[in-house]
Structure 1
Amino acid sequence: MDFNLFMNDVVDAARKDITEAGYQELTSTEDVDKGLAQEGTTLVMVNSTCGCAGGVARPAAANSIHYDKRPDNLFTVFAGQDREATEKAREYFEGYPPSSPSFAFLKDGKIVSMVERHDIEGFSPVDVVGKLQTIFDEHCEEV
């Protein structure tokens, strides 16, 4: 088996998981600036190919938004794949070290809260959904 082909399949599946859930991919620095500078509330999932991304973070990303309160904007960047876009997004996450997978919650382009890898790894998707929905309760309007 060709490892590169296998990894391409893994990356493609990870991208598909999150975009099918309703998140828009930001793959360039321009996309990031345009997306994250928007007014309102924004959730950014920093995607990755690790097991906790596939087993916990992406399922939590997909399920957390089926809620009475949810962010206005849903975006994703892919750590290790879209490097420049991810680095640019992390500039918006001031005060938080690079972490993937992770979730950044912004309001009017400013970081408000972060669910970092240590808040994801070792937890269940339901636990992470609860963490995200707690943030939504505090900062989002009912839809």
Structure 2
Amino acid sequence: MYPEEIVIPMKEQLTFNGFEDLTTAEKVDEAMKKEGTTLVMVNSVCGCAAGAARPGVLLSLTGEKAPKNLTTVFAGFDLDAVKRVREYLMPFPPSSPAVALFKDGELVHMLERHHIEGHSAQAIAENLKQAYAEFV
């Protein structure tokens, strides 16, 4: 498990921008029951999370459409919450970072680590904006 002093600033990059920090399995279940669209970012300490995933997710929210509910869990820190999110992400294998879009509790779009690693924040944002245009 990662030390809190390392994780908190990475969490805050999202929570200071309106993301709900899901720290327990129960909070994940509550978030998945919400109507409308829910974005879930599986946050991570890796470089591709810092350089592309978090900035890309935030940039994706600047378009005409955006998910109603913004949520995040942190791999290697919020262990029970991440385990529960990964159940909702089936059949996709565990991946961090990862970004998933749900509509009324159904998974409709998924970015796994291999969609993030080596891609720019702008490319990730455009991918997500296309999903928002279709599902939001």
Matched residue, 2:113: 117
Aligned pairs for 1:1-143 within 5 A: 7-140=3-136
3-state SS of 2:90 partner: coil
Residue ranges of structure 2 left out of the alignment (5+ in a row): none
CA contact (8 A) 1:21 1:61 kept: no
Aligned Cα root-mean-square deviation (Å): 1.1
Identity among equivalent positions (%) equals: 45
- Once residues 95 and 43 of structure 2 are traced to their aligned partners in structure 1, the CA distance between those partners, rounded to angstroms, is 10
TM-score (norm 1): 0.90
TM-score, L = length of structure 2: 0.95
Aligned residues: 135
Higher-Rg structure is 1
Q: Distance in 2 between matches of 1:114 and 1:65?
A: 16
Runs of 4+ in structure 1 deviating by more than 6 angstroms, as ranges, are: none
| Structure 2 Cα separation of the partners of residues 87 and 53 of structure 1 | 19
